[in-house]
Amino acid sequence: MLCQANAANKTNSHILPRFISTGFFGAKGAQRRGFAFNGENELSLKPRTVQDSPKENYILCDECETYFSLLETASAPSLKFWQAKVASGKFKMTSIKSYLKVVEMATPDPVIMRLLVYSMFWRATVSSLEIFEGYDIDPSLTESLRCTLLKFKALNNADLQANLGSKKIILHPYSILTAESYRDETANVLAAINPGNPASLNVDKFGFILFKSEADISEQVMADFSNLKITDNQIMVVSEQLWHEVMVKRPLEMVAQQARKNSSKPQ
Ligand SMILES: [Zn+2]
């Protein structure tokens, strides 16, 4: 579905990169388990248990899967180990407010991080899995993400580096949110709640927000700490309390509301 050329023969493609979407299942060795909610039968049935983050067959060909793996491999250490990189002085962290710090990532190349984020929103919007049902980003933005991703497509790191040097990326501002600590690391959420503008994705310890253009950013704090320019490569780090309220409690409340609404509908 990305290249629209080769047969989409890959099975079990992760829609959200596996390296950031499975932490809430708990430590390796323990019973790894999550719960799937759909806002329909929570009041009458036990939630389904799941053991992996969402994956889908036949959306990518071998080549496009390889390309996404290159983006993921290049970005994984910076997202997974940003705290260690701040501690070692590799990344710079600045306090902005009592509940907000900002980390400037020195790696990966900011265009690689941007492509990874674009790929997540694109994958979520083309997915037909239940968790992404109704998650339809503006078609012109979806097509812009697809064309941009395709433009930089490479099957090895040397070609990817060459593309970074020679091609021009279309800029859609995006933000990455995370927290320094969590009330409960196994209580985080995967959710595709808002496909609007901005669109958002909850991916375990990270939140991603995508704006169609700079003019769509209404809050100054988002304008200051999102990634607008080609060289921007920053993460907003919020307090444990704010993370819990916005990224854990709110999505669960939305499911509960939906379930109540559905259960009161006449059958
Ligand atoms: Zn392909």
- What is the pLDDT of the chain when averaged over all its residues? 94
Ligand 1 centroid, distance to 53 Cα (angstroms) = 22
pLDDT in tens, 70-95: 999 999 999 999 999 999 999 999 99
Ligand 1 centroid, distance to 44 Cα (angstroms) = 42
pLDDT at 266 (0 to 100): 67
Pairing of strands 34-36, 48-50: antiparallel
Paired with 36 in beta bridges are 48
As a whole number of angstroms, the distance between CA 197 and CA 199 comes to: 5
Ligand 1 centroid, distance to 3 Cα (angstroms) = 4
Q: Is the pLDDT of residue 29 over 80?
A: no
pLDDT in tens, 215-254: 999 999 999 999 999 999 999 999 999 999 999 999 999 9
Q: What is the mean pLDDT of residues 25-48?
A: 83
Ligand 1 centroid, distance to 153 Cα (angstroms) = 9
Count the alpha carbons within 13 Å of 263 in the hemisphere toward its beta carbon: 14
pLDDT at 267 (0 to 100): 57
| DSSP assignment string, 87-121 | HTTSSEEEEEETTEEEEE---S-HHHHHHHHHHHH
Sign, Cα dihedral of 231, 221, 205, 254:
negative
Ligand 1 centroid, distance to 67 Cα (angstroms) = 9
pLDDT confidence band for 44 (50 / 70 / 90): confident
* Range name among 58-67, 165-174, 252-261 with the lowest pLDDT average: 252-261
pLDDT at 42 (0 to 100): 82
Share of the chain above pLDDT 90, in %: 82
As a whole number of angstroms, the distance between CA 58 and CA 35 comes to: 25
Ligand 1 centroid, distance to 118 Cα (angstroms) = 16
As a whole number of angstroms, the distance between CA 213 and CA 223 comes to: 11
pLDDT in tens, 145-173: 999 999 999 999 999 999 999 999 999 99
Ligand 1 centroid, distance to 160 Cα (angstroms) = 16
pTM given for the model? 0.95
29: left (phi over 0), alpha (psi -120 to 50) or beta: left
Q: Which residue has the tokens 């990874």?
A: 116
List the shell of residues around ion ligand 1, using CB closer than 5 Å.
2-3, 6, 61, 64
Ligand 1 centroid, distance to 97 Cα (angstroms) = 44
- Is the pLDDT higher at 30 or at 75? 75
Encoding tokens for residue 107? 């790696």
pLDDT confidence band for 41 (50 / 70 / 90): confident
Ligand 1 centroid, distance to 61 Cα (angstroms) = 4
